[in-house]
Every structure is written in C-alpha cells, then in structure tokens.
A and B are shown apart, each in its own frame.
Chain A
Amino acid sequence: MLSETFLITLFLGAVMAGMPLLLAGLGEQLSERAGVLNIGLEGMMLAGAWAGFVAAWASGSAGLGFLAGAGAGLVVAAFMALFCVIMALNQIVVGIALVLAVQGLTALLHFVQFSQSYPRLDGMQAWAVPGLSQIPLLGPMLFSHNPVVWLGLALTAAMAFLYRQTNLGIALQAAGDRPAALDALGGNVTRLRVLTVLTTGALAGLGGAFMSVAVAGVFVPFMSHGNGFIAIVLAMLARGRPLWVLGGAFLFGASLSMTTALQVVGVNVPVDVIQMLPFAMVMLVLVLAGRKANLPAALGESFERGAR
C-alpha cells in the first residue's frame, strides 16, 4: 500500500488540500495576534472561492482568479473590520452573520450565472523548479507545485520574520495583549487591527480561490465546508508560530486527501469517513493539548481609548 504512487498522491493531495488552510490560518493567526477573533473566516474563504472561480472562468487566467478571490475576501473582511473593530459590535454575532450572508449570496450569484450547472476549469500548471523536479519521488513531491504553494511557503517565512524581527510584529503583539499600552505610546490600535483583519480577509479569500480554482476546478455552494473553522483552530493552537500553522495545515491536508490516495491504490472508503477525519483530528488535538490553546489577553475585546 505504501507504494510510490500512493505516497506521491497523498503528499501532493495534502499540499493542495492544506494550502487553503495554510493561507487562511496564517491570516487568522495575524488577526488573533492583534486581538481580533475572526469567526467570519469561513465566509471570507467562501467569498474567495466564488469570486476566484468566476474570474478564472471568465478570463481563463488562474492568476486573475486568485486576485479576485483575495479581493472578495478583502471585501468581506472590510465589513468585519467596520462592524467589529471600528464600531465594536459583538465579534461572534457579526462573524456568524457574515458566514450566513456569504453562503446565501454566493449560492444565489452562482445560481444566477450558471443555474444548476457546475462548469469546470481546465487544470492548472504546476511551476516546477528546473532540474530539481526531475529527481525521482522527491522531485515531483517537493519541487513541482502550483505557484500559490510557493507563495504560501514564502508567506510562512515572512510571517515568522515579521513577528520576531520587526517593530510591526512587536506592535501586533501589543495590540493583542495590552492595546492600551500601544495606544499610550502613540500606536494606532484601531488602524493596526483594521489592517490585520483586511490582510486576513485577502489571505482567506486567496485560500478560498485556491480551493475552487486550483484544487476543485469548480465552484459548489457551501464548498468551504468548515475549512475556515479548522483554520481558526490551527491558528489558536499555533499561537504565534507560523511554522506550526504550516505543519498543521499539511496534516489536515493529508487527512483530507486520504480518500483520493486510497482510491488510487484501490481502497474504497466512504467519503463521510474522510470528511470526519480532520474534525476528529482537531478534537483529538484539543483534548490532548487543550490547555495550551492560549489566546491573547485582549482577544475578542474591542478597544476603546481610556476604557479599562
């Protein structure tokens, strides 16, 4: 069973299925660090998935699809930022409302454009590292991927650098742990939080677009199927460590891509079992490491100058 095909299928599947989680998870980690719990992440991903698909379908360019996806996520995030960060409405209520709204709207919009049909996009070209990708087994596994995969890896490293090595990273941590301190030192908590929420939206939207454009090649209503919530858990468990998000996303991706890999080698597993796997994994991890899923002190609290 552990044949080369199985391994390559599983690994590539894990990368593809894990990439939306990685992008959304990195984004969520960013806003959680700054103190905003982004329950609407699922909505941002779904908006990205729809917009990405439509743009890619209309233009024939996957790149435009990704851009549109990021843009759509950004738009949803703008609502989140306006309502939760600027106007300080309840983050959970608004988050749920945004998820519902995006679910309804994308389904409607898809219906208007395509009625009951689900057109497919052509497959996407991987970007192979010249030379290295020719190595047997490791070559196709490590060096031949969609450009967005490379972007995701670069982002992971960039985030790690940002958190540890820049003033911005320090300011982010202050905004999450002691916003009043940042404010008293002349930082702008609200602006910082708005920016992180918008970035989160763009990343989640890109992740969603990756789902529809690169992985599935099709848009189906409600297709984000809880990925946004898994990404929230990933970010919670990883806390300030982007590498952990990467590892977690890959693991979840692997469990999601297990069906395909098993089918390739002729083992049939009901799709429901496979769909349960990542959630069961999350629960298992939470049971084992529950206490460690710490969150910033001011997470979920809106900031108002002078209020203690």
Chain B
Amino acid sequence: MQTPPGAALPPADDRAGYGRAGSGVTGAGIRPVVALQNVTRRFPGVLASDAVSLGFLPGEVHVLLGENGAGKSTLVAMLSGLQQPDAGQILIDGAAVSLAAPRDALRLGIGTVFQHSMLVPSLSVVDNFTLGGPWWQRPDRKALAARIQAAAAGPGLRVDPFASVASLSLGERQQAEILRALMRGSRCLILDEATAMLTPQEAGALGALMRRLAATGLAVVFITHKLQEALAFGDRITVLRGGRNVGMIAPDVLQARSGAENTAHIVSLMFGEDSRRPDPLSHDLPRPAPPQKGPALLKVAGLSTAGGPQPLRDISFTLHAGEIFGIAGIDGNGQKALAEALAGQIPSTGTLHLGGAEINGGVAARRRAGLSYVTDDRLGEGIVAGFPVATNLVLKEIGQPPFWRRGLVQSATIAAAARALVQAFDIRTPDVTTPAGRLSGGNIQKVLLARELTGQAQVVIFAKPTYGLDLQNITAIRARIREAAGHGKAVLLISTDLDELLELSDRIAVIERGRLSPPYPNDDTARAAITRLISGATGGADV
C-alpha cells in the first residue's frame, strides 16, 4: 500500500489481494459478533445517538463514516463501556448485554484502540500489557515478552516489548495497542480515528493490517471521517449523520459500483441530498491564482532553536504579500517550534525581517510589528476558557488603548469591539460575556481568527487551522485564509493535511526533523512531489 489516503483511490480492484472473507457474507446466515439495536444516547441539548442499529460481522472491515459530531465517538464510548445507552440494546452473539464499565466490554471480547493512546508513557510496552491483570501477581515479563513477539508475528506487527512507550512513534504505539487488544481475546476490534495521527504510509499500512485481521475472522470496526480511507479499507460502510444511521452500503454494492458512484452516494449520505455547499472533498476546486509576487514581506534567515522535542535547524524562507505559503510534513517534525519561534513564544537564533525592518523581542513586540499567530492548541493556549468571549478577543491587547486607558479597563469599548467582531466573523455565541470555553470548537477558532486577523496584522501564521472542525467550519475558515491573502497579507499555513495545503497554497515546502525543504510551486506535480518528500522523511515505514 503506497497510496496516500488523499489520492483518489480506485476502491474495488485495489483490494483484490487481501482477504475476501468478508465479501461473501452479505447478511444471510452469519450472525454479527456485536450488534446495536435502536441504541439511543442523549446529552444536554444533543441527541448524540438516535436509535442506531448496526451489526458487525466476523471477517469484515466495517467502516463507520461521519463528520465530527455525527455520533461516532458516542458509539465507540458505548461499545467500549465508557458510556451507557439511554435506550436500546447492545447484543453480543445475539444476546443482550450490559456494558457498565470498560472491563465488561473487554471480557465480552470488544477491544478498542482509542484515538488518544491508552498506553502509559512512563511504562515499558510489556508492563502496559500486564495492566489490568490480577493485582497480586508478579508479572512474568520474560514470558509475556515472548508471547507478545509470538502474537505479533501472525498479523505482521512489530512491537518491541521492552521499549519504553514514551520512545515509540504514534504508529508504533498504535500497533502495540492493537496487539494488546488481540492478545486479550478480542473478537471485535474497534479502531477509533486510527489514521488521524499517522503518516500516509502508516495509514496505508494500517489499512492493510485491518484487512489481514479481518481475514482471520475478526470483526474490525474502523471509525473515520475520511471518505477515501473508508472506500480504500472498508468491506462495508455505514454512514452516520446527526447521531443517526443514515445508510449502509453492503459489500456487494460497494464492489459492484465504480469509485465515483460510491463517492457520490456516500457524500449525499454524509451531507444530505439537498446540500448545496461546495464539495470540499473534491480536489478539482479552482486553484488559487498563481502568486502575484507581491513585495517580500517576511524574510526568515537561519532560524534555529535549541531544546524542545524537535529543534529547528537553520530555516530560511521568504513570504510575499498576498501569498499563502504552505508548510507540509508529518506532525512532530518541528511545526510547533517553527510557529512559536516566529511568533516569539520561544527563544530562537537567526534573523527575521518584516517589511524591511528587523524584528525580534517577544510576542507583544512582534505582534505590534504586524506578525500574528493562530495557534492549533485552541483550548490549551488560544483562549482562557473561563473568561468571556470579549476578553478573549482582546487577550493580546491587554493594556493597549483604546481598550485600556491609563491601565484601567474600558469595558464598554471592549464590548462594542467584541460585538462587531462577533458579527464580522460570524461567531455563534449567546453573548460576548459568555465564557469562551462554552463555545464549540469551530466558534472558538473563529474567535482566534477574529483576534489575529484584525488590527495591524501583515503576516499571519496558521497552525493546523481546521484540525478537528466540522465541514461547515472548515469551509468558513479556509475562506477566511484565502480572504486574508487576498487582502495582501502574507500567510504561512502550517498543516498536516496535504489536501488543505494543495487547496490553499501558492507554494509548499516540507518540514522534516526541524529542516525545511525548498518550496515547490503548487502545480499539477505538487501532490506527487510533496508526498515523495514526506515519504522520504519517514524512511518508508512499512509493515
């Protein structure tokens, strides 16, 4: 599997080489390992699961596909015993069961690999495998390690039992977690957004692994919001929208139709037949106009940092007014350090010229000079969750006129400015006094955009600006980014989503272990070139 998930994948024939155990079992005669019957789960204000019925057959990769907020995580939580349905039943081998706690799910053979690693980083792999064992026992680490290696050989997993989890990559951690679930006798393996943090190769390898596991008779449940992955890896696809099961595509249907037909069908299920919004999943959007070579606005030369998980090494580039400059790469290769060093949040060496004048100093000075930064860690550092939206909108202007005069807060001025921004950026909030933490992720992101795009900003750094947002907000945020560049601002777009970069950028460079590649113009060959660069970076992780 060398095909990155972003590419248009031919769904059917590509899978010919993998186990087809699932292909023949289109319902008749085979009982699902795990089934949901009219499962309903309510949260304050939300119907997260609305009478969902589903069945997971042995030998199949069953994809649960849906946007953020479609109810996928709630289903996972109920299947793994973290939450309980308000109504409806969960059946295992046809019998209704109660999954009151995670241990019940494990005992009954449902193993879940969560999106966020459930390994204890300070323990070794083998110790993580003993977790949950009888407390009085002395773990026989040697024997267990041998069993781990034996068990890993079958599905072709690579796990070093004595490595410390903290030293493993995200992909390696995931393999360890899958193996752990298998060794606990899981018959139904749930992979929750398993490809979200992986490189294209790792994602492809995971897809192949899922198919191998299904071939052994396991019921594999793959939860994702990426349509291409669903088509590439799944035997059966169930689409969720607004907490409901809005349609299931059986294996025979899936195989009988062309990729385009399947895509069209699924898109209509995911977004509703009547949805008129531009289809963000197609890559035939008009490319942004070729860079109109505005004046060079930001010149970075020899930028390096020390310390941190991934220091920067000698990064140089130039940003022109009106340009969107994309930075691609797998997460953890220095993206965060780059954004923070530019914004002045962490110390760095090298020079930075904005509009001809050298800028240095801290965040405040750089911001005054016209450089602003939209962080990807919205809740962690972007906002103060308990403070009102209005305060968060002026969080980087504390003490500045007109919002503060002689050190005293001008509440009316702030409120008025905040209301104007709420209007202009379409921030959905009951009031400007509402604590910012109560807003949805998309609206919090809009608060950040409003804060960073107004005022004297000439250069704007975006870090993963649409990560974790739903489609509507993704579209809105991308429009804002284009608009900023259209107004003559220079945009640095750091993203791990290659499609996003290809859609928005004029030029793209790849960051890899703290170094930046030369930029590529975003033309027809860009996807292949960038993919090759990213792939080279990981040294080809194969399984």
Contact = CB atoms under 8 A, between A and B. Distances in A.
Question: A and B touching (C-beta < 8 Å)?
Answer: yes
Interface of A: 165-168, 170-171, 173-174, 177-178, 180-188, 297, 305-306, 308
A50 B80 CA distance: 48
A178 B119 contact: yes
10 contacts: A167-B133, A167-B135, A174-B120, A178-B119, A180-B118, A181-B117, A184-B82, A184-B112, A297-B121, A305-B82
B-side interface mostly: loop
A68 B107 CA distance: 41
Given A184-B102, A186-B101, A186-B102, A167 B137 contact: yes
Contacts of A171: 131-132, 135
Interface in B75-89: 77, 80, 82-83
Contacts of A174: 120, 123, 131
Contacts of A165: 138-139
B131 A168 contact: no
B123 A184 contact: no
Nearest to A308: B116
B438 to A, nearest CB: 16
B82 A185 contact: no
A186 B82 contact: no
B127 to A, nearest CB: 5
Nearest to A192: B135
B114 to A, nearest CB: 7
Contacts of A167: 130-131, 133-139
Contacts of A306: 77, 82-83
Given A166-B138, A167-B136, A171-B132, A185 B121 contact: no
B132 A173 contact: no
A181 B101 CA distance: 13
A188 B117 CA distance: 18
Given A182-B132, A308-B116, A166 B122 contact: no
For the complex of A and B, 4 pairs with smallest distance between CB atoms: A186-B103, A185-B132, A168-B135, A181-B118
Contacts of B453: none
Given A170-B139, A305-B82, A187 B122 contact: no
Contacts of B92: none
A289 B114 CA distance: 37
Contacts of A187: 103, 131-132
A185 B136 contact: no
A137 to B, nearest CB: 39
A166 B106 contact: no
Most interface-central of B121, B133, B136 (chain A CB within 10 A):
B133
A183 B83 CA distance: 12
Contacts of B80: 184
Nearest to B135: A168
Interface in B274-306: none
Given A183-B102, A185-B102, A186-B101, A166 B135 contact: yes
Contacts of B122: 173, 177, 297
A171 B114 CA distance: 19
Contacts of A188: 101
Contacts of B118: 178, 180-181, 184-185
Most interface-central of B77, B119, B120, B127 (chain A CB within 10 A):
B120
B506 to A, nearest CB: 37
Contacts of A177: 120-123
B120 A173 contact: yes
A307 to B, nearest CB: 10
Nearest to B122: A177
A248 to B, nearest CB: 22
Interface in B115-174: 116-123, 127-128, 130-139
Contacts of A308: 116
A24 B224 CA distance: 49
B102 A166 contact: no
B377 to A, nearest CB: 14
Nearest to B114: A184
A297 B131 CA distance: 18
Contacts of B137: 166-167
B82 A173 contact: no
A174 B106 CA distance: 18
Contact of B106 (A173, A181, A186, A305): A186
Nearest to A165: B138
Contacts of B82: 183-184, 305-306
Contacts of A168: 135-136
Nearest to B124: A170
A308 B114 CA distance: 12
Contacts of A182: 120, 131-132
A185 B107 CA distance: 10
Interface string B213-241: 00000000000000000000000000000
Given A180-B116, A306-B82, 5 more contacts: A165-B139, A171-B131, A177-B120, A185-B106, A306-B83
Nearest to A195: B135
B34 to A, nearest CB: 17
Contacts of A178: 118-121
Contacts of B132: 171, 182, 185-187
B84 to A, nearest CB: 11
Most interface-central of A177, A183, A186, A306 (chain B CB within 10 A):
A186
Contacts of A180: 116, 118
A195 to B, nearest CB: 10
Nearest to B103: A186
A254 B114 CA distance: 51
Contacts of A181: 117-120, 128, 131
A174 B80 CA distance: 19
Contacts of B136: 166-168
Nearest to A183: B102
Most interface-central of B106, B117, B122 (chain A CB within 10 A):
B122
Interface in B83-105: 83, 101-103
A173 B131 CA distance: 10
Most interface-central of B131, B134, B138, B139 (chain A CB within 10 A):
B131
A165 B141 CA distance: 10
A232 B101 CA distance: 34
Interface in B58-89: 77, 80, 82-83
Contact of B130 (A170, A183, A297, A305): A170
A268 B134 CA distance: 56
A159 to B, nearest CB: 15
B94 to A, nearest CB: 24
Contact of B139 (A166, A184, A185, A186): A166
Nearest to B180: A185
A162 to B, nearest CB: 10
A181 B117 CA distance: 8
Most interface-central of A165, A167, A177, A305 (chain B CB within 10 A):
A167
Nearest to B107: A186
B131 A170 contact: yes
Contacts of B119: 178, 181
B74 to A, nearest CB: 10
Most interface-central of A181, A183, A188, A308 (chain B CB within 10 A):
A181
Interface in B330-346: none
A187 B102 CA distance: 8
Contacts of A185: 102-103, 106, 118, 131-132
Contacts of B83: 306
Contact of B127 (A170, A183, A184): A170
Contacts of B138: 165-167
Contacts of A170: 123, 127, 130-131, 139
A168 B139 CA distance: 10
Contacts of B127: 170
